[in-house]
Each structure stands twice: as structure tokens, then as C-alpha cells.
Amino acid sequence: MKSKRKRWGSGIIILSMVFSLAACHQETVAIRHYPSKVHEPVDYSDMVYTGFDETIIQEALAELEELHDSGALQTGDTQTRERVEELYKIIKAQLDIFTTQVSLIGIQYDANGAEEHLAEAFAEISAQGSVLYDKCYQVLALLVDTPCQDIIEADAGADNMEGLRRYEAVTDKELDLRQEEKKLVQAYDQIMSQLMEVTVDGKVWTEEELNQAELSNRDYQNIYTELEHARNQKAVEVYCQLVKVRTEIAREAGYDNYVDYAYRETYNRDYTLEDIRWVWDAAKEYIVPMEEMVIDSINSRELRGLHRYARSSGEEILDAIQPYMGRIDPDLGETFDFMRRYHLYDIEYSDSKLFTGYTVSLPQYGTAFIFNQPYGNYQDYIDTIHEFGHFNETFHCAQHDLWADFNIDVAEIHSQGLTLLFTEYADELFGEYGEAFSHVILWSMLGSITDGCLYDEFQATVYQNPDMTPEEINSLYKRLAEQYGYQFGKDEEAYDWIDVSHNFQSPLYYISYATSALSSLDLWLVSLENRDEAVDIYLELAMISLSLPYREAIEEVGLRDIFQKETIPEMAEELEEYLGTDKGDGTGKAA
């Protein structure tokens, strides 16, 4: 079967998706400026998970309720306004502490293989957050249509004020469903982290024993398939339960199915499922052939050489890529320096880690954190560059979590766009293997498009038919995977979709890799003609942050609309021309 490619994300979504209310050579100069923000000089080793004491924030919320009940909010006198401003600052600061605590326990959970006591702590603070954020929105809604409304409107914006006006408290049923969802996700994590055992011809096998045994290819494949099938069966049972729970969550929110709910409420997308169907079809027709063309362009000898050459520790990777960040943009270089100085990352291999990678916010300190379990090859360079794109955006984002937009399709351009811009330095990084590295990045980007569409079509079908059996789900995945270029043996099953954690942890997320990869590819095609213009576009997107939904942000910076039916065929044609004229200089520039 065609090999899988790892995908990246910005971490497990906990609160924003539930309660979202709507010193180097300078090559370019940013069009905009990052917003003012304080970044605390605190090393990650000094950030301790303690849980969250609600006393201070609950007292502030209670005082706001008292001001409302007494009628003081309606007077708008100076003393009341000053006190409301103080209380609002306390609430925001406390929520920053809370969100940071969630991130810290999440990192520990992933770094220690979903250990039971960490799973319990993670579930507990997640449940605490569900209630806490709900309470905050209920109380802050009391400021709407009072003389004190402008105090929060400056942060929230008009759309969120309207959302507060209509806000309804989360029901006990919704809270219970969220808790059940979290427990099921943790059950999946446990399945993926534990050793599987199967009995073949009277002998018990685990993955470790299989990898140490001397077997024929046929026997190895037979045992491997049995292990894969065993894990799949356990995971799919959990998946079926998740589909049902999430369907109930959507119906509680007034939606017919979870697909429409996730597109609108979780990811704030300015396109619909009907809009994206064209992209699915275009990916099959135009991108799958380009993916094969790119992989065929990679010299196998050079790829093996790249594999050996790129074996590096996390610190060695950071050392290698650091000089180029400042060459793209001085601010980018300074942010990278800050990240390294305060060790805001965990990217070394560990047997105890869950196999995942993401970036999370640490708002108490005005910073972020990168977590990744590496492969031990060139993919780790790609992953690190990718995640730093997320880090840079999160590091500079000044929106408070209360009002933060969650436009993940834009966020993934911050990461994937930066990765493609790095093809400019492929020769400097990898010498004679630079061309192979550039083409691997291109291949990975095209894979983001095809896999993004594959998993979106797969999940959309399942969530629109929530009573599908495990056998039907596996069969559906195999049928769709073949349409997106995957090849299977005559009697081979397709069990490995469960390896993509997003299918369980962040449903309907994956299409954002496709939309953002298409726009990142468009950005890279601009760079072939005008490097400075492309970098300016990238930096403008980084400074826009996540404040605009995908189509609006793309229009704002002048990239093409992927939903126009001529766009994807045009991009495929331009890439084909690049591959036909590329002289292998490894710079990412057409000759």
C-alpha cells in the first residue's frame, strides 16, 4: 500500500471549539506590524501544573452579577465603570492561567503515553473549563446593552457582542456529552499507546516480538496484519461511539448532523460541505496525478542519502534552521530565538511519548509550546518548520481566548506556507540532497491536499450516516482511499485510518490541511516569480493571525480562490510546468 504521511495540527482543541462565539540578512519587510503583546521570559522548566483554583475568578464573576442585580451597571457612573474594568481584567488574567494549566497537563499527558493519573487530571480540568467558560459568558452577557458594554466590546468585537446577546447557558446534557466525548478520546489514546497481542499458529505475538523475529516476508506480513486488525477493531468500536455522541452534541445545538455543526460552530468556516465537494473531486482529478509525478521526480539514491544526512536530534534541527528564520524576516528570527532561549518545545524522541505533534498556547506567559514525537529522518525538519509557523502566529496573537477566532484553515497556511518557503534554502541545508528535500516538501504538500480531502469525505459520510457498522466504516475508507491514489493488494484490508488521531480527537479538522495546502502552494508558485512578494504575503497572513475566516483572509492578501473551478486546474498546470523545467538546482526555483 502507498505509504502514509504524518500530518500536523495545533493541538487538541478543548475550549475554543466548544464555546466559540463566532540578527540576520533581511530579505523582505513586513507589510503590517504584529500587535503589542507581553512575552514573559520564563523557561518551560519553571512552568508547573498545579490545577486551577477558581476562587479569584468566581469572586469577580459574583461581583459583576451583584452590580447587575443592584442596577449599578445601568448607571454607567465613573466608579462602576472603573470597577467593571478591573473585574474584566481579573477574569481575563485568570482564564489565561487556566488555559495555560490545560496546555501544561496536555503536554504531560502526551509526553507520558496517556498515563492514567494524567488522563484523569486532563479530564478533570477539561470538565472544569466547560463549566467555567459557560459561567463567564453568562455573566459577561449581563454587560450587553448597558453603558459598560464598550468595556468588553473593544476586545470582543460586534459579532461576539451579538453572540453574547443570544448566548444560552450550556445544558447539563451538553456537559455530560462533552465529558463522554473526552473519555472516549482518552480510550482511543490508550488503545493506540498499548501493545497489541494476537495468536497466530498457536504463538502469541506483539509488535515488539514481531520486529525482533526472523521471519519470511509472508509470515511477517500475516502477523503484522493480524496485529493491525486487532487494534483497528478496538479503535473502530470507540469511533462508532464517538460518532453517536457527537451526533447528539450537534442535535442539542440545533443541527441535523455533526458535519454541519463542526463546519460552522467548531471551525468557523466560511464555506460549506457543498462548497468543498468540488475540491474533493478536483483533488482526485488533478492533484493525485501531480502527487505521483512529484514522487517520480525524486531520485531514489538521493532520497536515501537525504534520509541518512538528515538524521538529527531536535537541537541539531533547531541549530540548522535557525539562521534562515531571520533571513525570511527579522521578527521571525527573534521569535525563534525566544522559543529556544526559554526551551518552549519538546521535540526529542521518547519511548513514552504519544505519536503526535502540535503547538499550544501558553497565554499566562504570552508564549506557546511545540510538542512533537519525531521520526528520526528528514520529516522531522519539515515538522519542526511547520510547527514553528504555528508557534509564530500563536506567540504574536493578541486575541483573548474568550473571543478568539478559530479559523484553522488560515492557521495551517502559517505552517504549511512557511514549510514551502523553506525550499529556497534546501541546497544550503542539505547540499547535494537539496533537490530531494524540496521535492519531498512538494510531495508532502500535495499529500496534504489529497489526504485532507480523503479524510473529510470519509468522515462527512460517516457522520451523515451515524449508524454505520465497523465493517462498513473500514470498507468506506478503503473505497475512498483508492479514489485518492492509494493502492491495496487483492485481499488487503485498509485498517490504518485509525492511525490518524485527528479522526478521533478533532473530527472534520483534516480538510483544513487541504484548503491551506492549496493556498500555500499558490503562495509558493508566487515565490517562483517574485520571492519578496510571496514572503510579504506570508507575513501579512501571519499578522492577520486568525482574525479572518479562510476565504476572506485569502482575498485580503490576494491569493486565488480555490473554490473557483479554474483555480486548481491552473495550479496543477503551473506545477507540471515547473517539474518539466526544473533543472534540479534544489532551490525551489524553476530554471
Q: Which of 63, 64, 66, 56 is nearest to 90 (CA)?
A: 56
Grid look-up 533581511 returns 26
Among candidate residues 243, 234, 92, 210, the one with its CA nearest the CA of residue 154 = 92
Taking the chain, what is the end-to-end CA distance rounded to the nearest angstrom?
34
Residue 134 domain-assigned (yes or no): yes
Within-domain flag for 325: yes
User: What cell was used for 260?
Assistant: 454541519
**Nine-digit cell string for 486:** 492509494
| Domain end (from 170, 204, 219) | 170
| Same domain (yes/no): 244, 144 | no
Any domain includes 31: no
Q: Are residues 332 and 286 in the same domain?
A: yes
Torsion sign across C-alpha atoms 348, 351, 355, 360: negative
pLDDT cut 90: percent of the chain above it: 76
Give the residue carrying C-alpha cell 506567559: 365
Residue 147 lies in a domain: yes
Query: Is 153 in contact with 145 (CB distance < 8 Å)?
Result: no
Pair 354, 52: CB distance under 8 Å: no
Most confident of 292-296, 307-311, 458-462, 584-588: 458-462
Split into its structural domains, the chain has a count of 3
- 438 and 318 housed in the same domain: yes
**Residue whose cell numbers read 514573559:** 40
What's the average model confidence in pLDDT over 390-400? Answer: 94
435 and 324 together in one domain: yes
Instruction: Give 69-98 pLDDT, tens digit per residue.
Output: 999 999 889 999 999 999 999 999 999 999
User: What's the pLDDT score for residue 11?
Assistant: 33
Q: Are residues 295 and 220 in the same domain?
A: no
Q: What local confidence, expressed as pLDDT, does residue 12 receive?
A: 34
- Domain membership flag for residue 332: yes
- Residues 510-554 have pLDDT tens digits of 999 999 999 999 999 999 999 999 999 999 999 988 888 999 999
End position of a domain, from candidates 130, 154, 170: 170
Give the range of the structural domain holding residue 108, as residue numbers without chain letter. Answer: 47-170
3 alpha carbon, distance to own chain's centre: 21
Helix (H) or strand (E) holding 339: helix 330-341
CATH number, domain containing residue 342 = 1.10.1370.30
Domain membership of residue 407 (yes or no) is yes
For the stretch 21-39, pLDDT in tens is 433 333 443 445 788 999 9
Taking a C-beta distance cutoff of 8 angstroms, is the pair 377, 348 a contact?
no
500 within a domain of the structure (yes/no)? no
What span, in angstroms and rounded, lies between the C-alpha atoms of 397 and 399? 6
pLDDT of 510 reads: 95
Domain match, 120 and 76 both: yes
**Do 250 and 350 lie in a common domain?**
no
| pLDDT tens sequence across 479-509 | 999 999 999 887 788 999 999 999 999 999 9
In a domain, 412, yes or no: yes
Indicate whether 305 and 425 sit together in one domain.
yes
Same domain, residue pair 97 and 214: no
244 and 331 both lie in a single domain = no
Q: What value does the mean pLDDT take over residues 281-290?
A: 96
Residues 6 or more apart whose Cβ sits within 8 Å of residue 327: 24, 25, 26, 27, 333, 425
Are residues 403 and 323 located together in one domain of the fold? yes
Neighbours of 375 (CB within 10 A): 16
Which H or E element spans position 205? strand 203-205
Domain boundary among 237, 254, 271: 254
Q: What's the mean pLDDT in 556-581?
A: 93
Q: Report pTM.
A: 0.86
- 46-71 residues labelled b (16+ CB within 10 A) or e (exposed): ebebeebeeeebeebbebbeebbeee
C-alpha to C-alpha distance for 316 and 450, rounded to whole angstroms: 31
Are residues 250 and 297 both part of a single domain? Answer: no
